[in-house]
């Protein structure tokens, strides 16, 4: 590809268009070949050249349509290019998802090989415009396009889920990809993040590697490691998501930590700091780095934090956690003000979610069962013990039902979709109805 975009004949051949219907139905009649001198190393000039090139490409496509259309031709389709060629950089191929983008790239690679072979023998000749138009706007092709299923609600969206290795984050990743989103599964536990991503890939299709990132399988999801308390780690994670998918539309932060006090009820300073470092400062660092990306993109974005019903209900035994979640509640409001109108920032506030939560290891579950005098056996599995504790917590709510990760995922889906597009700066409780947590 670099050999083609850097060659003397590349611009001439690209302008001629493709010679095969299978090619141009994916790549359009021709690509956009960006007029840019790479020796300048001027990124702003490159951006300007891309912008000017897009404007001219649309005009060319409209002229092609007007010249070749017939009385019964379907309406003009999207006039934007699906293939962009840039000297020294290579090719960018576009589609509504990673799979379509990859196929478009493969088709134009094939088109280049045809050009190379034809030029080696004699001279490359492209398909005539009228013939190409009659194929592109063939009534049967139009009928096929009309029969395609409508796009899903989150098609073309890139969403980063932090804490995707377990619990609410894992459930959220699966919920959002179901609606068409591409998911960056992120976790401090790299193996857990990759496991969630692989579950999605196994269900929705494989991917390809991303050069220079260590990402070996980039399809509808990728698994990445990140320490949200480390700004460099967060920036590196976002860089890898953008290399894989081209940008970011929404960030969901479900990562959190609960540190119980010692037997005397005291919590060490270092553990207090760690609680706030992850539950508050980490969320801020992620949002701050994401905002830089949203500003560069110039596109509206979403950030969703995960707080807790404990943020408004004071109780004994979780001083650091509850206080940090109260701070996270207000962080969502402050970020909403700071980032408006470009980015919406909201939060979901679960009641205690026991199922699948890394914050409820076996020893903590047993301690809670003992505290509430709930009968259990050491022979019972951790999941069985969690179910008992969840059932106890459910009795304290108005709906009398356990709160599960999927319940939070549903609320998060609503917030990153367009369904609540006028909502920002709010915390949505998903707690089964806790009277003590009602708005005051």
Residue that finishes a domain, picked among 147, 174, 195:
147
Active-site residue, selected from the candidate residues 64, 321, 372, 393: 321
Residue 210, in any domain of the structure: yes
| 143 and 162 part of one domain | no
- pLDDT tens for 300-339 read 999 999 999 889 988 788 899 999 999 999 999 999 999 9
| 110 and 189 part of one domain | no
- pLDDT tens for 218-265 read 689 999 999 999 999 999 999 999 999 999 999 999 999 988 777 777
d(C-alpha 283, C-alpha 277), whole Å? 9
Beta carbons within 8 Å of 344's beta carbon, 6+ residues apart? 300, 301, 302, 303, 336, 415, 421, 423, 424
pLDDT at 207: 61
Q: What is the DSSP string of 267-308?
A: --HHHHHHHHIIIIIIHHHHHHHHHHHHHHHTS-EEEEEE--
343-350 vs 32-33, strand pairing mode: unpaired
Residue 336, in any domain of the structure: yes
| 106 and 15 part of one domain | yes
Q: Is-contact 226 253, C-beta < 8 A?
A: no
Tokens at 334, concatenated: 């402050």
Q: What is the DSSP string of 63-117?
A: HHHHHH--TTPPPP---S-SEEEETTTEEEE--SSHHHHHHHHHHHHHHHHHHHH
Confidence band of 217 (pLDDT split at 50, 70, 90): low
- pLDDT tens for 349-359 read 988 776 767 66
| 207 and 268 part of one domain | yes
What is the total residue count of the chain? 440
Q: What is the CA radius of gyration of the chain?
A: 26
User: 213 pLDDT exceeds 60?
Assistant: no
| 241 and 324 part of one domain | yes
User: 15 pLDDT exceeds 60?
Assistant: yes
Tokens at 371, concatenated: 């505290």
d(C-alpha 270, C-alpha 48), whole Å? 50
pLDDT at 333: 97
pLDDT at 317: 80
Identify the helix (H) or strand (E) that includes residue 391: helix 382-394
Residue that finishes a domain, picked among 93, 118, 147:
147
| 334 and 410 part of one domain | yes
Q: What is the CATH number of the domain that holds 429?
A: 3.40.50.720
Residue that finishes a domain, picked among 104, 123, 147:
147
Beta carbons within 8 Å of 208's beta carbon, 6+ residues apart? 102, 217, 218, 219
Structural domain that includes position 278 = 158-353+403-437
Catalytic residue list contains 321? yes
pLDDT at 236: 98
- pLDDT tens for 151-190 read 899 999 999 999 999 999 999 999 999 999 999 999 999 9
Once rounded to an integer, what is the mean pLDDT over residues 427-435? 89
| Strand order across the beta sheet in which 301-306 lies | 221-225, 182-187, 158-162, 250-253, 301-306, 343-350, 427-430
The torsion of the CA quartet 128, 129, 132, 138, rounded to 10 degrees, works out to: -130
Phi, psi (degrees; rounded to nearest 5) at 224: -135, 150
| 140 and 208 part of one domain | no
Q: What is the count of structural domains for the chain?
A: 2
| 189 and 237 part of one domain | yes
Q: What is the DSSP string of 211-243?
A: TTTTEEEESSEEEEE--TT-HHHHHHHHHHHHH
């Amino acid at each position: 590809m670099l050999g083609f975009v850097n060659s003397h004949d590349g611009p001439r051949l690209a302008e001629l268009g493709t010679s095969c219907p299978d090619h141009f139905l994916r790549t359009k009649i021709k690509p956009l070949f960006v007029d840019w001198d790479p020796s300048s190393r001027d990124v702003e000039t490159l951006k300007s050249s891309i912008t000017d090139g897009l404007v001219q490409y649309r005009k060319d496509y409209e002229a092609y349509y007007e010249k070749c259309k017939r009385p019964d031709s379907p309406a003009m389709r999207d006039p934007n290019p699906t293939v962009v060629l840039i000297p020294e950089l290579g090719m960018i191929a576009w589609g509504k998802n990673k799979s379509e983008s990859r196929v478009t790239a493969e088709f134009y690679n094939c088109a280049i090989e045809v050009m190379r072979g034809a030029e080696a023998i004699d001279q490359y000749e492209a398909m005539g415009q009228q013939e190409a138009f009659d194929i592109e706007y063939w009534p049967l092709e139009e009928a096929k396009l009309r029969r395609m299923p409508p796009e899903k609600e989150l098609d073309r969206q890139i969403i980063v889920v932090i804490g995707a290795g377990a619990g609410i984050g894992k459930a959220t990743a699966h919920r959002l990809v179901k609606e068409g989103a591409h998911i960056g599964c992120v976790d401090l536990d790299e193996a857990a993040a990759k496991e969630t991503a692989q579950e999605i890939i196994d269900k929705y299709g494989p991917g390809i590697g991303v050069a220079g990132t260590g990402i070996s399988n980039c399809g509808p999801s990728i698994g990445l490691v990140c320490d949200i308390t480390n700004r460099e780690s967060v920036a590196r994670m976002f860089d890898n998501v953008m290399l894989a998918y081209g940008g970011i539309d929404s960030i969901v932060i479900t990562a959190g930590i609960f540190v119980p006090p010692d037997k005397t009820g005291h919590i060490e300073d270092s553990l207090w700091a760690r609680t706030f470092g992850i539950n508050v400062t980490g969320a801020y660092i992620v949002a701050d780095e994401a905002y830089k990306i949203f500003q560069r993109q110039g596109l509206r974005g979403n950030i969703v934090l995960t707080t807790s019903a404990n943020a408004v209900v004071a109780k004994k035994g979780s001083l650091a956690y509850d206080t940090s979640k109260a701070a996270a509640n207000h962080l969502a409001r402050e970020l909403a003000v700071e980032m408006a109108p470009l980015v919406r920032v909201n939060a979901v506030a679960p009641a205690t979610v026991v199922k699948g939560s890394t914050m409820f290891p076996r020893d903590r579950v047993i301690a809670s069962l003992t505290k509430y005098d709930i009968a259990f056996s050491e022979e019972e599995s951790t999941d069985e013990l969690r179910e008992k504790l969840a059932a106890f917590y459910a009795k304290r709510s108005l709906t009398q039902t356990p709160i599960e990760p999927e319940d939070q995922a549903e609320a998060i889906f609503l917030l990153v979709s367009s369904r609540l597009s006028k909502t920002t700066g709010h915390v949505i409780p998903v707690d089964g109805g806790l009277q003590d947590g009602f708005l005051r």
